[in-house]
Structure 1
Amino acid sequence: MELEHKFCQPGGESAPGIILSDGLRIEGYASLFGTPDQGGDIVAPGAYAASLQRLASEGRAVRMLWQHDPAQPIGLWEEVREDGRGLYVKGRLLEAVEKSREAAALIAAGAIDGLSIGYRTVTAVKDRQGRRLLRELELWEVSLVTFPMLPSARVAAKGETSSAETLRDLALALDAARRDLAGD
């Protein structure tokens, strides 16, 4: 079973940075539906639903890691859910963990602002452009990273995205999924 990560090298599109609230609380989108990442993959709405349901039924949680390193858990995701925009995460860095304090300092300074997912592809199809439409994913972890594969996967402050932006993103995601399913 191969674990994949969404990670990229420098030079990607810029996006708003992480805003840390209450010192160690973080939230944002780890994945956006219908938005191609730098590898050309597109996550379809509902791709995480079965995995999140399975984790909940087994009493397990999505892990919060530092730079996808399984030896460096740095906090807890207290909320992981799909909404109309993508995979929303909300959690806290653990103050007792040295790497968490370092991460908080890096976030506060603006040196780190990315989120990235670790997952296994369950179901995917290729569209006419050769991109993978990821229809079902087994989510393992969401990491704080320097360079996310999806440049807009960032931690944000509450209320940073307006409802108009959310509706626009949802419309774009649904249109992209419709085109991919139709083979356009």
Structure 2
Amino acid sequence: MNTGALFEFDTKSLSEDGTFSGYASRFGVTDLGRDVVMPGAFTKTLQQSSKLKMLLQHEPGKPVGVWKSLVEDNIGLKVTGQLVLDTSLGRDTYALLKAGALDGLSIGYVSKKDSFDRAKNVRRLEEIDLFEISIVTFPMLPSATVERVKARSDFSRLVEAINAARAAIH
């Protein structure tokens, strides 16, 4: 099981009812864990699973909403979700997303088919059994941020935080 691969969550807007859309994964982009999701990796899991969970920080006891749509396109896994604003956790998550305190997505999955590219030192994920997508604090890709309702996040501050996290890991 992998819950560390984070990908771009390019929300164009966060509506008053808690609905948002963006990308949970982008094809061909190497994450900090040296994984690259390949086009078509989600095809089987999307055909077989209609109830993927939306969690906060990969915590099974912290569902925050529901995924309304998950579709692979030429960019990656495009998602539309809705926070459950009738719960305190849903309202808190909405407020944190709107303020930019939360600004990333992370997929929880098991790799079903992958290969290792020794020349590039990356694992190519060719088939993924996806079971959840979480809203998270720190994305593994510097570009994996939520575009807030009124303003973009301070990208340089985010890059500094990611670099500090990388240094702590190594």
Q: Give the TM-score range, shorter chain.
A: 0.7 to 0.9
| Higher RCO (CA < 8 A, seq sep 6+) | 1
1:6 aligns with 2:20: no
Count of residue pairs brought into register by the alignment:
147
Shift of 1:18: 7.2
TM-superposed CA distance for 1:7, in Å, is 5.0
Aligned to 2:100: 110
Letter in 1 for 2:14: L
Q: Retained in 2: the 8 A contact 1:26–1:92?
A: yes
Q: Distance in 2 between matches of 1:4 and 1:134?
A: 12
In the alignment, what sits opposite 2:126?
Answer: 135
Amino acid at match of 2:112: V
CA distance in 1, matches of 2:5, 2:90: 20
Q: Secondary structure in 1 aligned to 2:29?
A: coil
- Decide which of 63, 66, 88 is 1:98's aligned counterpart: 88
The equivalent residue for 2:66 is: 76
Q: Tell me the residue number matched to 1:174.
A: none
Amino acid paired to 1:111:
A
2 CA distance for matches of 1:142 and 1:119?
9
Unaligned runs of 5+ in 2: 149-170
Looking at structure 1, the residues matched to 75 and 108 of structure 2 have their Cα atoms a distance apart, in angstroms, of: 19
Closer, same or farther: CA 15–50 of 1 in aligned 2, 3 Å: closer
What is the aligned partner in structure 2 of residue 44 from structure 1?
Answer: 38
Corresponding letter in the other structure for 2:90: S
Higher strand share: 2
Rounded Cα–Cα distance in structure 1 between residues aligned with 2:130 and 2:75: 17
SS of residue in 1 equivalent to 2:138: coil
Kept after mapping to 2: 8 A contact 1:43/1:134? yes
User: Could you tell me whether the CA contact under 8 Å between 2:5 and 2:31 is conserved in 1?
Assistant: no
Aligned CA-pair RMSD: 2.4
1:24 aligns with 2:18: yes
Check 1:156–1:90 CA distance in 2 against 1; reply closer, same or farther (3 A cut).
farther
